[in-house]
Amino acid sequence: MLLRFLGAAKTVTGSCYQLTSGSRSILVDCGLFQGPKALRERNYQPFPVPPASLSHILLTHAHIDHSGRIPYLVKNGFSGRIITTAATADLAAVMLPDSGHVQEMEVEQKNRRGARAGREMVSPIYTAADGYAALEYFDRVEYGREVDLGGGMKASFLDAGHILGSAMLQVTVAGNDRPMRFLFSGDLGNAGYHPLLAEPTLVEETDFLLIESTYGDRLHQDHRDPAELLEDVVQTAYRRGGPLIIPAFAAERTQDLLYFLHRLWEGGRIPPLPVYIDSPMAIAATAVFEKHHECYGIQVQDMLRKGQEPLDFAGVHYARTVEESQALNNLQGPAIIISASGMADAGRVRHHLKHNLWRKDATVLLVGYQAEGTLGRSLLEGAARVTIFGEEIVVRARIRHLDVFSAHADQKGLLTWARHFQVPPRRTFVVHGEPAAAETLGRLLTSELGWPVIVPEWLEEYDLTGQAGPGLRELREAVDRKLRVLEAEKDRGLVPELMKKLAELDEYLNQVAPPASPVVSRPPVRECRPEGNR
């Protein structure tokens, strides 16, 4: 039984995990690497696994850092099935072709500049047509229904409460004594905040857990009503007299903003500003939301029963064409422009930032997480100048940030979710977080819950064969950690006696369960790009 980390290991992007049992091999997620150039380069390398050798891809949700390499795999020989929820499949039908289109546009711009500089031409990882072709391989599944993957593997999808259709995955693999159970958390939702969606499912037991750690080292800054915070931003931007530019992911964040702006508009709490949604993908994603009411939370279900549409109100306008998008840069006076992408790293929003960042009357609102190496992160950290489309732009606009819109559980939320386990996982892998976030969450899971934790490296592989037995080795590891903790607190009253008892248990475990041999680890391959993509 092999578990290999093909992405989202000490980074928040490129989510991809390979699980192999005998001749059966599957992936959970297959996302694009985003952010710094060193990470993006991985997208151009040959996939670490022959795509034709994979029988299934299980997709937790439609965000491109989880789904964005699927068309590349199909293009290069994958012919199995991609299983996900109906809402995720519908969102992927919007997002994957758009991802291919964005890559085509970016490569076209690079090639124009490269030709003038005498550089080699580059090719997109895949095209919009490849994105459409991948959709033929999707199968839909309901939450809670078990799917037989063959080879003794079965999987079921549980609501993760992150975006529409998002799921955590339970995978069981038949064994000699009993099945081995794996739980892939996917991205866990921000419980208690998300008005549109249901809460993340609570799980009580698994053998092996992969838990995300995007916010593993920090808390969300503000737990007030998001509508109240957004009201303040809009009112302040209105008084400045210029546009309010909001980079927002097309799926989920745009719909969250529409929901809260609807509340503010209908309640008379903001001026009747025009709200422009400038993203064809966001427009299409909003239609998907309106189709899948079954994913909504209790509060929004009540609105629907009363005949209210949560995402539609009189002030909303949609910029569908390029000409309509360009016209927004000539607007006079206050207006709200919501445009992708959420980290300002691609899409139409970069044009709006280019035309407005230098204006003192403009406001830019960043909502949620901004990964290292993105334009959004540079603005968040107070950059005085940024480069957009090769042009240096001075930053005079006011930069605001609201963390309350995050669709991710923060450190407290992750630990609260983990505490619902009635039996500790035999081993927990902390993934989908930058190094500091992953390491911090790992230490807390160990110190507060006593869990055996590993923060894996990219391309590391772990042989888990036989590790779903009585769990003595895991118990021994927990004892070792507890002893180290107690040794650091020798000045406390009862510690010496507790240490004596634990030392006796440790000696016993040395006899019945010697320390485990190291797991198999394969070092990362040298990072390089194939010829023609340099």
Give pLDDT tens digits for 215-268.
999 998 777 788 899 999 999 999 999 999 999 988 888 999 999 999 899 889
* Phi and psi, residue 422, nearest 5°: -80, -25
- Which range (155-169, 288-302, 512-526) has the least confidence? 512-526
pLDDT at 524 over 50: no
In 3D space, the residue among 274, 403, 286, 268 whose CA is nearest the CA of residue 331 turns out to be 274
CATH tag, 2-218+408-463: 3.60.15.10
Quickly tell me which residue has 């079921």 as its tokens: 156
CA distance 67 to 219: 27
User: What topology is assigned to 226-402 in CATH?
Assistant: Rossmann fold (3.40.50)
Alpha helices in 387-530 (DSSP H): 411-418, 435-449, 472-487, 495-512
pLDDT at 80 over 50: yes
- Residue that wins the pLDDT comparison between 176 and 136: 136
pLDDT at 271 over 50: yes
pTM: 0.80
Q: What is the mean pLDDT of residues 86-108?
A: 93
What is the token pair recorded at 430?
Answer: 């902390």
Question: Which pLDDT value is given to residue 517?
Answer: 41
Question: Which pLDDT value is given to residue 512?
Answer: 45
pLDDT at 469 over 50: no
pLDDT at 49 over 80: yes
- Residue that wins the pLDDT comparison between 397 and 390: 397
Q: What is the mean pLDDT of residues 320-339?
A: 94
C-alpha distance from residue 353 to each of 255, 266, 281, 488 (Å): 21, 29, 19, 52
Q: What is the mean pLDDT of residues 120-142?
A: 96
8 Å CB contact between 219 and 437: no
In the chain, where the domains are located: 2-218+408-463, 226-402, 472-512
pLDDT at 401 over 50: yes
How confident is the model over 456-468, as pLDDT tens digits? 999 999 999 866 4
In 3D space, the residue among 141, 127, 170, 32 whose CA is nearest the CA of residue 82 turns out to be 141
pLDDT at 533 over 50: no
In 3D space, the residue among 137, 138, 153, 147 whose CA is nearest the CA of residue 23 turns out to be 153
Q: What is the mean pLDDT of residues 358-366?
A: 96
